[in-house]
Amino acid sequence: MAIFVNQNTKVIVQGLTGGQGKYHGLRNKTYGTQVVGGVTPGKGGTDVEGIPVFNTVAEAVAATGADASFIAVPPKAASAAILEAAAAGIRFIVCITEGIPAQDEAKVYNTLVRDFPKTRLLGPNCPGIISPGKCNIGITAGEIAELPSASRKNVGIVSRSGTLTYQALYELKQRGIGVSTCVGIGGDPVPGTNFIDCLREFQADPETDAIIRIGEIGGSAEEEAAEFIKANVTKPMSAYIAGVTAPPGKKMGHAGAIVSGGKGTAQGKMDALRKAGVKVGQNPTEAGTLMAEIIARLESGKSKGRGWRFWRRG
């Protein structure tokens, strides 16, 4: 299995006729994702390398049965594109657009919660999601994701950082460790999907045996997730927090990655995760090494029952 998307997911690309939408939409299709249509107002009836283009999302859904959307449009059009997809019945939306004002993100998020509770938004400003061998929506390179194995233990990944999402995938690939699903939630202040949403799904997913979480400075999402882990997650985890050397008050890359008033520091987040029983690496490679050790214990049968609990909390 996987979380959020799988081999049956049918995807439309809003902005397929644009440069980024075409490039990444075709890469997703080549990977094996069911990219069934595109949407660009005024270009309905055309196609992009055999993928039909529609004027509206509603038309695309009616013609293709799409249940997911990949949004690759400029910031000024992104909010309307998200809400159009939700109104058309799309259940899962991936928006890679960066530079959307935080106020607009908050309005869209709250509109989705109020009017379209069955629609999940991933992003904006995120790399997307990949369930290796099944579905890839967004800008992640499929070749760095190791396929899950029925005969071995598999790992779920959730990350705020796009680049570190890729590194986490590659660290596992180098070690031959399969991935059930990798979710890049993005680093903006108002993400549509957060750590807890993903952790809850990974905990329930029978194909996910362990979890890697990549966080960064700024906000309280990591600390909140640590509390959730302590109360709800029994699967072993490793983690890394980016921004250990970031000076207070300095924004580091993402709009949400800013330390203010002594809160949101890397050390505080690392401490919270350790208290929740998560193995925390000092860099992304160490987080991968810790996960390899976890998988080795799981596969040797030494991490079952009370013995695993003792080791995890150590």
What is the spatial distance between Cα 63 and Cα 52, in angstroms, rounded to a whole number? 10
What is the spatial distance between Cα 244 and Cα 264, in angstroms, rounded to a whole number? 11
In which residue are the tokens 């259940």 written? 91
Please choose, from the candidates 222, 173, 230, 183, the residue with its C-alpha nearest in 3D space to the C-alpha of residue 205: 183
254 is catalytic: yes
What is the spatial distance between Cα 69 and Cα 14, in angstroms, rounded to a whole number? 7
Q: Select which of 213, 254, 279, 297 is catalytic.
A: 254
Please choose, from the candidates 291, 275, 155, 284, the residue with its C-alpha nearest in 3D space to the C-alpha of residue 226: 275
Return the C-alpha torsion angle 188, 194, 199, 205, nearest 10: -110
- Residue 183 Cα distances to 2, 62, 101, 300, angstroms: 11, 28, 22, 28
Catalytic positions, written as ranges: 254
